[in-house]
Amino acid sequence: MNYRNLGNSGILVSEIGLGTNNFGRKLNYKESEIIIKSTLDHGINLLDTADMYSNGLSEEYIGKATKENRDQYIIASKGGMNPMPSPTDTKVAQRVNEGPNKSGLSSVHIKRSVDESLKRLQTDYIDLYQTHIFDPFTRQEETLKALDDLVTQGKIRYIGCSNYMAFELVEGIHISRKYGWAEFATIQPEFSMFEREPESELIHACDKYNVGILPYFPLASGFLTGKYKRDLIPEDGRLAGGNTAWSEKWLNDENFEIIENLELWANNKGITMVQLAFAWLLSKRSVSSVIAGATKVEQVKSNSEASGVELSNNDLEEIDKILPQTNKAGVGNLPRRIQNTP
């Protein structure tokens, strides 16, 4: 496993991180514990979670599984978005119904959320705390001051953001510099060979301001694994069913042709589709770690094997001719914004 700086911070993280939004949803504690404990065997030290994942169960599982060797993990969590349900949570409706300050990036909510996350994680610090989505109803000054207070108190060590547009990230950085507050070290966007919007503006801002990118959905919800075929859609896959927004987005003739050409290219190169997808992201200078989920130990292993796979400039040019072109600039992650608007 290779390691990179976590954005502009001094700590090193594995090139492949573990996404944990399946903990408490698809996986119970014992299954999640097995996954977590397997990460160190494959050199993975970055665990990415959020307070909303399974309504806090993901953080609880991580806290319980890592409390004996907490210092070996870099734990990243997020706050500010409406919670997602767990199988045991009958209040599937957004927990925002319990009160108007149960989501968003106000100082009150951030500080309360961090304290609650610390309890669930059974730790006295969070290595990286990220704002889960931009809050148009709260001034960035209020959010960033609250985060800086938490850094000063030692409750969090570095701050990051997720699902921000490039100008929102840069605005936040300049606000922090104006007041001498902690700056965003990282940003989490949806980024893959099929979701290339970050290449239009965000990646250039990150290069300039030395902000680390932590791509999520790096396999386009599993489509880039190659297990989806024109005539064979795995029933247990995220894109199964044919009527979800993800399946409608990815499962079409144009995209299947791209997948088939990528598989041919990867086979000729002697690498797997997962290795190709992750190596392509890691070829971007600002990418610190690729956040990849896993529900089996075998997936943790196969994900980790993408570290160290290098693509030449010629390789990247050939791949670019196969891929869909970069999306238009400035659109951001609009579906998530609409979903999270009170």
Active site residues: 53
Give the tokens for residue 61: 């599982």
Partner residues linked to 129 by β-bridges: 77, 159
Helix (H) / strand (E) element for 293: namely strand 290-293
- The CA distance from 114 to 65, in Å, is 19
* DSSP assignment string, 202-249: HHHHHHHHTPEE--BSTTTTTGGGS--BTTB--TTSTTTTS-SHHHHH
- Amino acid present at 230: R
- The CA distance from 214 to 211, in Å, is 10
What's the gap between Cα 131 and its chain centre? Answer: 12
- The CA distance from 24 to 55, in Å, is 9
Whether the Cβ atoms of residue 218 and residue 281 lie closer than 8 Å to each other: yes
Count the alpha carbons within 13 Å of 265 in the hemisphere toward its beta carbon.
Answer: 23
300-304 contacts, C-beta under 8 A, 24 or more apart:
300/18, 300/35, 300/38, 300/39, 300/42, 300/44, 301/38, 301/42, 302/272, 302/274, 303/16, 303/44, 303/274, 303/278, 304/1, 304/14, 304/16, 304/42, 304/43, 304/44
How far are the Cα atoms of 146, 265, 278, 289 from residue 176, in angstroms, in the given order?
11, 44, 32, 24
* DSSP assignment string, 55-89: GGHHHHHHHHHHTTSGGG-EEEEEESSPPPP-TT-
- The CA distance from 164 to 187, in Å, is 8
